[in-house]
Amino acid sequence: MPDARELEESTVTEPVPDNEFDEVVGIVADGVVGAAGGLVGTAMMTVVLATGESFGVFSRDSFAVLTTLVGLEGVFPPVTFGYLLFLAGGMVTWPLLFASLKGYLPGESDPVSGAAFGATLWTGFVFAFYSGFSGLTLVGYLLVTLVAHLVYGAGLGLVFQYFTTRPDTLV
């Protein structure tokens, strides 16, 4: 029969190496940085889009399209819920894609790469949120939404750059 010392030694589990814990913490921290960058970029983009709406070249009603796409137009206020979906995409989906692609994007720094990323996103946005503009209003819509996406990408990149240059002790 084993004595207490042998039982104690046999039930001790191997400690988890510090590097595995550090990897998990790093992944979570990168996710938080991405969400923060997406929030900053989307907030900056919203200011540009609101300015465009004041000039009559953008309509916030176009966010209702997102509510319709998920089939919840009768459940939630369409514009508000559509904007929340837009915000969620700006904080989760696009930052993840940016983080995985930023090494391949043009630009010497993250804000410049982010602006290029935003310009790429604009090509889909401009069609998805188009609400029947024509003439000079269409030109204004194209310019305002392009500037909004450049600002989104630059804001996203600025946050990534800021947190990647911070000392390790802050994360």
Classify residue 157: in a domain, yes or no: yes
Cβ contact 72:16 at 8 Å: no
Classify residue 132: in a domain, yes or no: yes
Classify residue 60: in a domain, yes or no: yes
Domain that holds residue 120: 33-165
Bigger pLDDT: 7 vs 82? 82
Out of 32-46, 82-96, 156-170, least confident range: 156-170
| Number of domains composing the chain | 1
Out of 19-23, 103-107, 119-123, least confident range: 19-23
Find the mean pLDDT for residues 13-25. 62
Out of 23-27, 94-98, 112-116, 160-164, least confident range: 23-27
Classify residue 4: in a domain, yes or no: no
Classify residue 64: in a domain, yes or no: yes
How far does CA 24 lie from the centroid of its chain? 20
Categorize the per-residue pLDDT at 1 as very low, low, confident or very high, splitting at 50, 70 and 90: low
Categorize the per-residue pLDDT at 4 as very low, low, confident or very high, splitting at 50, 70 and 90: low
pLDDT tens for 45-103 read: 999 999 999 999 999 999 999 999 889 888 889 999 999 999 999 999 999 999 999 88
Measured from the Cβ of residue 83, the count of other Cβ atoms closer than 10 Å reads: 20
Q: What is the pTM of this model?
A: 0.82
Classify residue 27: in a domain, yes or no: no
Classify residue 25: in a domain, yes or no: no
Classify residue 13: in a domain, yes or no: no
Find the mean pLDDT for residues 120-139. 94
- Does the pLDDT at position 14 exceed 80? no
| Contacts of 114 by beta carbon, 8 Å cutoff, 6+ apart | 41, 98, 102, 107, 152, 153, 154, 155, 156, 157, 158, 160
Instruction: Tell me what the pLDDT averaged over the chain comes to.
Output: 87
